[in-house]
Amino acid sequence: MAVPDTLATPAHLTRLTIATRESALALWQARHVQARLAALYPRTSVEILGMTTEGDRKLGSSLAKIGGKGLFVKELEEALADGRADIAVHSLKDVPMQLPAGFTVAAILDRADPRDAFVSNRFESLQTLPQDARVGTSSLRRESQLRVKFPHLAIGALRGNVQTRLRKLDDGEFDAIILAAAGLQRLGLEARIRAVLAPEDMLPAVGQGALAVECRADRADVLALLKPLHDDTTAHCVLAERALSRALAGSCNVPLGGFAQVTGTHLRLRGYVGAPDGARHVSAEIGGLANDAETLGHALAQRLKELGAESILAALAAESA
């Protein structure tokens, strides 16, 4: 049966409010969902509630030290809880592996480019960077993989929104920086990308490039409304990736990469765990049916533990205790 251009809206949902962070990228993401919903439900007024989260207030600090990426989500969930907003839009990689009771990810949109991007004003690629070139990144995952493959580089901490990070590059603080390709593309900054890093060279973050729409678990009306936005293929991929991360206690304190791809009914999942200095690291992959995504994530986590991830994780936990 053909899908209609527009869908009927529950009678009492004449207005829908989206909670979002107020960074340029977060607002782009919220407006993207707003446009998708407006096209589906033209009789519903879809509005945006911009908010500043604790993570935004502490952009100069390391996420690993101040509580993790959940700091970008907490205030938005409070708006859902008290009725100021009906849904919240997040970069899926910022969503904690365990949501608080009463909340659910209602829709995962089709994934944009999941890869990392090399950005530099002087150099064409990581391979062309000279000895002691300074590379900026906000991610322990990226730092660990860079130190494994390019031990001659000097890795520096880089925080702030996309524009702030680019400004630090332009001001000469770094010779190159690594950012998510999807964020640059969504902001119309594709021209800043010198090279896109293949997963073989830099395994992406779990959920990178995907958008998640969160709501209260008791909002059956909102859950029904969001169903047409959900992309099954992306959902299979990120379900596998998040199961892998959850089984390995993945957080900002753990240099962990996970990336799944679906071809037909088959899912391929790759994983990486390493120490921040790259001195110890393990990687592996697994394949199976896409419908078994979560099982595959757990199985790959077990394989990585057997290869040495467990001792790496134990050492990281001891250091942060």
Distance of alpha carbon 205 from alpha carbon 187, whole angstroms: 20
Distance of CA 76 to CAs 20, 21, 217, Å? 7, 8, 15
* Dist. CA 62–CA 158, nearest whole Å: 9
Please give the backbone phi and psi of residue 277, each rounded to the nearest 5 degrees, phi first.
-85, 0
What is the secondary structure of 246-267 as a DSSP string?
A: HHTT-STTS-EEEEEEEETTEE
Whether residue 94 lies in the annotated active site: yes
Q: Considering only CA atoms, which of 274, 254, 272 is closest in space to residue 320?
A: 254
- Measured from the Cβ of residue 234, the count of other Cβ atoms closer than 10 Å reads 23
Marked catalytic residue, from 94, 113, 116, 201: 94
CA 18 from centroid of its chain's CA atoms: 19
Strands 211-216 and 87-91: antiparallel
User: Minimal CA–CA distance to 212: which of 241, 252, 181, 179?
Assistant: 241
Of 286, 122, 143, 131, nearest in space to 202 by CA: 143
Under DSSP, the state recorded for 192 is: G
Tell me, what amino acid is at 75?
E
Residues with catalytic annotation?
94
